[in-house]
Amino acid sequence: MKCSPSAPADVSVACLSVLPSQREGGGGRKFRQGLGGLLAGALLGASPLAILPAHADEAQLQHQIDVMQKQLAKMQRELAEKKQAPAPRMAGAPAGAAPVTTRNGNELIIPAPSAPPPVSADGRTIFAKALPSWVDGIHFSMAGSFIAMEGAYRQHSEVSDGASSPPFGSPGIPLQNSALYSDRELRMSAQQSRIAMKMWGDIDPNQHVKGYYEMDFLGASTDANNRESNSFTPRIRQAFAEYDNDLWHFHFVGGQAWSFLTQNRVGALPNTENVPLTIDAQYVVGFDWLRNPQLRFVYDINKTAWFGVSVEQPATVFPGAPASGFTNSVPPGFATNINNFCQGASHLNNTTTCSNDVAPDVIEKIALDPGFGHYEVLGLERWFSDTVNNGVAGSGWSQKTTMAWGVGGNALLPAIPKILDLQGSVLYGQGIGRYTSSQLPDATIGADGTLSPITELSFMVGAVAHPFEGNDIYTYYGEDRSYANSWTSGTAQGGWGNPNFLNTGCVNQNLANNPGSLGGGPAYNTPVAGTTCSFNVQKAQEFTIGFWQDAYKGNLGRLRYGLQYEYVRLTAFQGAPGPITATSTPNEGLNPNNNIVMFSFRYYPFN
């Protein structure tokens, strides 16, 4: 198509670039001046010109150009004003503060700082539903969490789960006089499944904080059962906070953690404990441990020598009360109150008992990491308390306190680095039974009604091998031993391990008392009428061997399986032989034992 003044009405606006060159005089010049404005206006998107009538007169065309020039001028003024306006800044920022823009120069919308939490009419703060500012500086990990499917097969039923419970020396092993001695037991459970959460951060390069929480389901409320919903309750394993100061070389721990008395792999801080690798959650006879509330202070010298003290929650383990009535007997003329039911206005379990404690347990430890192995020496102080009435008229009740103590040491040696580790531990003292895996008694009632600590020895040796990637093979031998602490007053016999105790009813089964029936008697040590069975544990022994193997380890976590065999044996104190009848037995050969096999499958999603 040829561009000309008489072009058709649908001619493209592109012809305008030709028409002015064909015109003469002022009209052509005005048209050329307006064309620049027209093109600029089109680029800015002010008012694009699509089609012009072919027969529009010059005056009408000039009017349109003038309108577009005014629009362009207005846009140029607005743009200039915008460039001169101060850049946006955060609300409350001081005058002259540097503007905040994005990398490409666009404005960055910055919210005003959060207002302080609102306050209610009664003056209490109403907290906002938002994360606190320190969250960005906290690291979080769930390493250590796992899902478990486990089982235990026992030659003699202990009516127990994935942990030997009652503990080894309670005794958890049934005697021949119990129907449980003839029962085999298979238990399968996911109760050891664990949830672990670790949070840590730095206050500055020299100050650090850490919080740790760990729970499992190896507990049961009074209505928990495995008949339908397996409604076992969660329990706290650990829940503590830690503060570390690298400049001053000290560390502070507050909360529930492994006892300071428990052996460490390195140093003397939580989460470094050298816990046996067993599937059995009661671990091994001879392993000394607790998990309890504490306040711990540790000082280190270049992370090589560690000196610490821990103040921990007290509790006293007393001997059982077998049918003989001898153990825990009260001397003639005295009355005592050694413990109370955990009831009242408290959140304690009122189906068990609480000891009467007046002071915390105190533990001191020195640990060394010289570059080859880890070594520890430790001390323990405890105080036992009961309330005594000596029977004298008007004397009333008075509280009596007795001190107990313990000393010990631990060693961990990399016999073949990364291939074989050897370890050993020992604890000796009076009133240390609570810290043993056998839970031997701490004290018994003495001849004057006060609590008398029982002397005990606990030791364990072990070896852990790592023959190839993802494999751990372990073996342990341990022993917890108690020493007699008894008294005789006339015809009354009392204390622990009294040689005058009778055990004539410990072997023959009591067919009239079935522990499996509703409302039946206790499962253990239920003698035939006319006989007695005191059975004080002199020694608990255990040999354990097992392995763990990684089935998978990668981006999706780790899957492990394990198998363990353990042999547990108890030895009773020798007592009086007593008359031998058809329903009795002399006090010899009282060495109940159990063979136990455990298996486990565990999935660790986070490590």
Q: What is the pLDDT of residues 60-95, one digit of tens each?
A: 777 778 878 888 888 887 787 766 655 554 444 444
Q: Say whether pLDDT at 423 is over 50.
A: yes
Q: Which carries the bigger pLDDT value, residue 445 or residue 112?
A: 445
Residue 35 sits at the vertex; the CA angle it makes with 32 and 36, to the nearest 5 degrees, is 100
Average pLDDT along the chain: 81
Mean pLDDT of 359-382: 97
User: What are 396's two structure tokens?
Assistant: 């009333």
Q: Which of 288, 261, 281 is nearest to 435 (CA)?
A: 288
Cβ count near 557 (within 10 Å): 16
Tally of CA atoms within 13 A in the half-sphere of 487 that contains its CB = 18
> What DSSP designation does 329 have?
P
Least trusted range by pLDDT, from 8-12, 364-368, 470-474: 8-12
Look up the pTM and report it: 0.76
**Band of the pLDDT at 354, cuts 50, 70, 90?**
confident
Identity of residue 570: L
Contact 606, 142 (CB under 8 A): yes
Structure tokens at 110: 């910055």
Rounded to 5°, angle at Cα 377 from 375 and 383 = 150
Rounded alpha-carbon distances, angstroms, from residue 498 to 107, 572, 573: 88, 11, 8
Is the preceding peptide bond at 171 cis, omega within 30 degrees of 0?
yes
- CA atoms of 93 and 174, how far apart (whole Å): 76
Per-residue confidence (pLDDT) for residue 577, from 0 to 100: 67
**CA gap 582, 512 in Å, rounded:** 16
Q: Where are the domains of the chain?
A: 13-71, 147-604
Architecture of domain 147-604: Beta Barrel (2.40)
Range 312-336 burial, b when 16+ CB lie within 10 A, else e: bebebbbbbebbbebbbbebeebeb
| 52 DSSP β-pair partners | none
- From residue 285, give the alpha-carbon distance in Å to each of 278, 425, 440, 481, 597: 11, 12, 11, 10, 16
**Residue 268 reports pLDDT greater than 80:** yes
pLDDT at 236: 94
DSSP codes of every residue in 526-591: -PPTT------EEEEEEEEEEEEEEEEEETTEEEEEEEEEEEEEEEEPP-B-----TT---S----
Is residue 376 over pLDDT 50? yes
Taking the CA atoms of residue 264, residue 270, residue 271 and residue 275 in that order, the dihedral angle to the nearest 10 degrees is 40
Least confident of 108-112, 171-175, 347-351, 367-371: 108-112
Quick check: 492 pLDDT over 60? yes
| pLDDT in the model for residue 84 | 62
Among the listed residues 511, 514, 533, the one whose alpha carbon sits nearest the alpha carbon of residue 522? 514
Please write the tens of the pLDDT for every residue from 111-135: 555 556 566 666 665 555 566 666 7
